[in-house]
Amino acid sequence: MLKIAIAGVAGRMGQNLLRAAEQHDQVEVIAGSERESSSFIGVDLGELIHTEPKQRVVEKDLNKALDQVDVIIDFTSPQVTLDNLALCKEHNKGMVIGTTGFSDQQLEMIEEFAQYIPVVLAPNYSVGVNLLFKLLEQAAKVIGEESDIEIIEAHHRHKVDAPSGTALGMGHAIANAMGNKLDDVAVYAREGITGERSKDEIGFATLRAGDIVGEHTALFADIGERIEITHKASDRMTFAKGAIRAARWLEHKEAGLYSMQDVLGL
Ligand code: NAD
């Protein structure tokens, strides 16, 4: 039985992680945390997802529980995740990170923590999106040079970072496959007299509206034809199940920074 703790347990992803763990007979949620000011502090974890009481309540941090836990799953915000990584290092526990929106400096800090503990970091835990990354590499190698490449993403109105971590992951997969660095070719916004599109650029467009769970398209357009590769998530359970799969995979791993591609053996 894998014993997990969930940081951000009352959030959109936190609740889906609780449900995904509930459906898994090899996984038990030992603890869940929320921000100190949350009205969910002290609420039974079962009540959060309308099931029977678990006799475990939402805590304001994971300090007390960490020694009984195998892996922590964290879908919160960048600074909270970094604070939890420090805790994990102290208690020698692995972490599955779902949070997106890290700065380059914060990503370097995650790499440093991963020298001491095993960490999975993925902008998207859906199996379909990780397969999409592979398809994009292939498309970039075959038609990337002669195509104009654009990435379009859409998410719900509450999302705070843009472009999405998944869109950036798609950009990295395409740029790397073509021997480029995303930072050198990315165009994140266009406004006014922008001039013509340059050949090498990868453009990003972002939509924020309603309750869209997550939609991503990569467009490879030449004169006379274009290919669009699209993934649409319609339920957050797909991310939650993937994160649980990553936690099970991580349990006996050595320290290191792993991706969902590693988890899936892609
Ligand atoms: P959310 O706002 O619904 O949930 C985040 C939760 O973290 C909130 O309930 C918040 O109160 C809680 N929180 C804040 N401070 C905390 C603290 N100190 N300790 C514990 N909990 C704290 O957001 P969400 O939609 O669940 O997304 C969370 C993150 O996961 C975002 O960065 C989002 O982009 C990312 N995300 C990643 C994937 C993926 O597959 N990698 C999928 C969906 C969302």
The tens digit of pLDDT for each residue in 178-226 reads: 999 999 999 999 999 999 999 999 999 999 999 999 999 999 999 999 9
pLDDT score of 70: 96
pLDDT score of 79: 98
State the distance from the centre of ligand 1 to the C-alpha of 7, rounded, in angstroms: 8
State the distance from the centre of ligand 1 to the C-alpha of 13, rounded, in angstroms: 6
Structure tokens at 55: 């006799």
The tens digit of pLDDT for each residue in 33-72 reads: 999 999 999 999 999 999 999 999 999 999 989 999 999 9
Mean per-residue pLDDT over the chain, rounded:
96
Of 215, 217, 216, 181, the closest CA to residue 201 belongs to 181
Instruction: Identify the band that residue 266 occupies on the pLDDT scale cut at 50, 70 and 90.
Output: confident
Looking at the CA of residue 159, tell me the nearest atom of ligand 1: 34
Give nearest CA residue, ligand 1 atom 2.
11
Regarding the beta carbon of 11 and ligand 1, being less than 6 Å apart is answered yes
Structure tokens at 145: 């040079």
